[in-house]
Amino acid sequence: MPVNIEVNPTNPNGLDAEFVLSAIGMAAEEWDDGEYSGWGGVTDELFSNEITITYEKDYDDLAWSKPGGSNTIVFGNYPTANVIAVTIIWYSRATRTIIEFDMALDTDFTWGNADNDPKVMDLQNIVTHELGHGIGLNDLYLTAAYRETMYGYAGEGETIKRSLHVGDQAGITKLYG
């Protein structure tokens, strides 16, 4: 800890690299911010404050069957319909620790900032959710959990997953607190 992240900000929606890095940085910081540390939450940084840009890796370079040496976030055409994003993690069964994660943001969707355009998939919203997978949390599918960052469904214009909720806080505290 903290986990390093590298990002290829190249995307078909014309989002500039600064916006992409900022949205991902804010998503990572949500897991780090410590607002919940008063009740026994995580006190150490989970994610590094510096995000590395890489133009050498793209969707086709992700190591879907084995670790590739870095925690990489890219845009790409994921082949399964209606999958907004996917995060693959690798872990050591012996030490019960995560080795690496890779994240793909599906280019079948239009990405952006839903505060400015409610017809787009909000980048910060979805990356906050996917980073939860990257640090070991699973999706929640109970309707009562719809406010949680780790709720397994999302849609265009949604921004509620930008902020952690009680269940998210409890889950991350159980893993790292």
Q: Please, what are the domains in the chain?
A: 3-176 (3.40.390.10)
Q: CB of 102 within 8 A of CB of 145?
A: no
Low pLDDT (below 50) residues in the chain: 37-39
pTM of the model: 0.91
Determine the pLDDT at residue 152. 95
Determine the pLDDT at residue 42. 52
Determine the pLDDT at residue 39. 46
